[in-house]
Structure 1
Amino acid sequence: MSSTTTTPETKTVLVIGATGKQGRAFIRSLLFPSAASTPSSPTTTTFPRSQAENWRILALTRDASAPPSQALLEEAKQHNAKSKITLVEACLNTPSTLRTVFESHPNIYSVFVVLAYPGLGTPSTAQKEKAQGILIADLAVEFGVNILVYSSAIPIGPDPSHGIDESRKQKREVEYYIEDLGKKNPGLKWIVIRPGFFYENLEGMFGAIGATMYRDGLKKETTLPMVASGDLGRVVAGLLQNPEPYFNQFLCVTSGPMTMREVLEAHRRATGKPMPAAPGFVGWILLKINKGAQDLVKEAEINHANRMSGKLPTFEEEVERAKSVCELQTYEQWKRALASGEGGGDEMSRRVSTSSWNNLSLMKLLTGRS
């Protein structure tokens, strides 16, 4: 009796935001998961890892020759996965270039969308974010994409008017558009992920400034939902390999809310050292003159109050939904692995995050410009 071997179908994922924190973390988890795992974040998920061989990535970039794009290919090469990644160029503000990507690569199975954060206090740029999200969703329907995964943000309150940051409001508008589009086009299945505050944002010089800002600006009882970018990548990879239970649903991706005091104590336990912080006067100046920084703190307070009062009734359900995909590291687990040199792919995310923070520079922060 002869046996036959069935070659699994290759599925193509277009990653919009492929060179950013979330895009890189997802690509690692899908194509070379062993490099993306840490001792505290086992590779065990709801999907079989052997399926990782059957995926192909179209990594969208404005410039394929730019260092971040080439770094993505180099990392894939180190894990014998370079042949599974194709760089494709497009500008999201020029619809014809994105349409060309879809026309040139038929049968895209899924699109993972992470739109660039425009920076604090930039409403005109954030309006482009909404237009970009709508464009991508429309093209996904037109070209028969099976699954659209959109990375949004944890809501501040039950409706967009409860937000202050324009980008967060636009993300909610894109969520509504995708949900409505899915009702009109049942062939499109969508999943919206809502990441918490990334642990990596507390690393490096800008992390020290941010930690000081939140430490001094937030009430002692105020909590921030937090997550590792590597875990975010594992969640999205898991969703695409076992999508049916999560179709047309929202997932808040966080290991759990923490007060800044809890974060500082976890850092000391993990490293034996206090968390680096900026001088107190820097945080004071920042909160006095930078409206964008003030808005971040206000939004954190509003979000905490709404969670505590039950005005975000699906929050816990959405958190548990994300945790059902894969295990999520606590801040202490993540920091302990990083401090011991066992951070895996998360270490690259940390190094990149220290060079900037929410598209800011130190001069912009301390002169009140966002």
Structure 2
Amino acid sequence: MSNSHQPIVVFGATGQQGGSVAKALLSAGWPVRAMVRDVTSAKATALCDAGAELVQGSYADSDAIRAAMRGAHGVFSVQQSSPSGQVTDEEEVRFGKAIADLAVECGVTHLVYSSGAAVSDKPTGMGHFDSKMRIEAHVRSLPIKATIIRPVAFIDMLVMPGFGLDEGRFNFFMQPDQSIQLLAVEDIGKFVEPIFADPDRFGGQTFDIASDEVTGKELEALFSEAAGRPIPYARFSDEVLAASPFLAKLTALMDEGPLAGRADLEALRKINPEMQSVRDWLGHTGRDAFLQALGTAGTWAYDRT
């Protein structure tokens, strides 16, 4: 049961994860306070129209964060990471720790921190994963009921430019027979809302969240079905990996296991019975984005090396 009086503070509410969480919380009847940089932006206005209370501020604005957390039941914490080009790894760590510290200071009952599926207690050698490992460790050290979720790779990422769909093919991290777990961004909030609704059950837990698991060959079949023509799948070529250290490191994490995902899909289905498969996503939420990707050339936005 949601607490109809005490709000949930949602960071990143105009972005992917925070936006999904704010939508799910509002749908379930929670009061939502959204931290936004610009209360006049189109996304912020849409949030306000949907029923969210807006608090203007940034991750570096401790006074605004304190004001947002005053009287709050919970906090959903997510930060941008360095591949976005907007923050450094050190800034991500500083912001993540500060939000957790302020949640304790303000007497928040339940903190939900969104990390990443490749994260564990061992460094990966990739800054934007290891930054989250450091934030996780800090959260666990604090006197607050906390849940750490580790989202796997987003299904939505598959239709970003640079993976070959505009050329009638698809290239990604796994070998054709390797499987990877994927998550529809829309489903993130549908996992987080039940976590806030039952803090005694989920407090103290850390777990991956995903909504499907597919192999490269299965993606080939799904994309071909959705496109109405063959979309062959292959792993990134050796030439592509040699030219992009960033992609090469991620591909190595696929082979080593962390990037593949370790979510218990059956257990997650009990939390969110509506979680979307890749086929579901291609037929509904992601249909327009997929069709647009078939005709949109470009390079992968996160490939900055």
TM-score for the superposition, normalised by structure 1: 0.69
User: 1:123-202, aligned counterparts within 5 Å?
Assistant: 125-155=88-118, 158-161=120-123, 163-181=124-142, 185=143, 188-202=144-158
In 1: Cα distance, 2:299 partner to 2:269 partner: 36
1:89 aligns with 2:89: no
Kindly indicate which of the two structures has a greater share of residues assigned to helix: 1
8 Å contact kept, 1:224–1:304: no
Equivalent position of 1:287 in the other structure: 241
Cα shift readout 1:155-176 (whole Å, capped 9, x = no counterpart): 35x5332x13211111111111
8 Å contact kept, 1:15–1:57: yes
CA RMSD of aligned residues (A): 3.3
Unaligned runs of 5+ in 1: 1-7, 33-51, 308-314, 342-346, 355-360
**2:133 corresponds to which letter in structure 1?**
R
In 1: Cα distance, 2:240 partner to 2:204 partner: 40
In 2: Cα distance, 1:270 partner to 1:364 partner: 24
TM-aligned CA distance change 1:226 to 1:123, over 3 Å: same
Higher relative contact order (CA 8 A, sep 6+): 1
Equivalences, count:
294
In 2: Cα distance, 1:66 partner to 1:305 partner: 34
Q: CA deviation at 1:15?
A: 0.6
1:30 aligns with 2:25: yes
Equivalent position of 1:358 in the other structure: none
**1:263 corresponds to which letter in structure 2?**
L
8 Å contact kept, 2:44–2:54: yes
Cα shift readout 1:18-43 (whole Å, capped 9, x = no counterpart): 111111111222223xxxxxxxxxxx
Q: CA deviation at 1:218?
A: 3.2
**1:301 corresponds to which letter in structure 2?**
D
8 Å contact kept, 1:59–1:88: yes
Q: CA deviation at 1:132?
A: 0.9
Q: CA deviation at 1:253?
A: 0.8
1:322 aligns with 2:286: no
In 1: Cα distance, 2:18 partner to 2:91 partner: 20
Q: Partner of 1:112: helix, strand, or coil?
A: strand
In 2: Cα distance, 1:131 partner to 1:111 partner: 17
1:246 aligns with 2:241: no
Equivalent position of 1:224 in the other structure: 180
Q: Partner of 1:252: helix, strand, or coil?
A: strand
In 1: Cα distance, 2:260 partner to 2:237 partner: 26
TM-aligned CA distance change 1:294 to 1:104, over 3 Å: closer
In 1: Cα distance, 2:277 partner to 2:163 partner: 18
Q: CA deviation at 1:85?
A: 0.9
User: 1:302-321, aligned counterparts within 5 Å?
Assistant: 302-303=256-257, 315-317=262-264, 319-321=265-267
1:65 aligns with 2:32: no
Q: CA deviation at 1:135?
A: 0.5
In 2: Cα distance, 1:21 partner to 1:159 partner: 26
8 Å contact kept, 1:109–1:146: yes
In 1: Cα distance, 2:230 partner to 2:212 partner: 22
Q: CA deviation at 1:212?
A: 3.7
Equivalent position of 2:77 in the other structure: 113
In 1: Cα distance, 2:189 partner to 2:163 partner: 21
Equivalent position of 1:337 in the other structure: 284
TM-aligned CA distance change 1:26 to 1:268, over 3 Å: same
Aligned mate of 2:11, from 4, 9, 16: 16
Q: CA deviation at 1:270?
A: 4.5
TM-aligned CA distance change 1:115 to 1:172, over 3 Å: same
Q: CA deviation at 1:369?
A: 3.4
Q: Partner of 1:257: helix, strand, or coil?
A: strand
8 Å contact kept, 1:212–1:283: no
TM-score for the superposition, normalised by structure 2: 0.82
TM-aligned CA distance change 1:132 to 1:243, over 3 Å: same
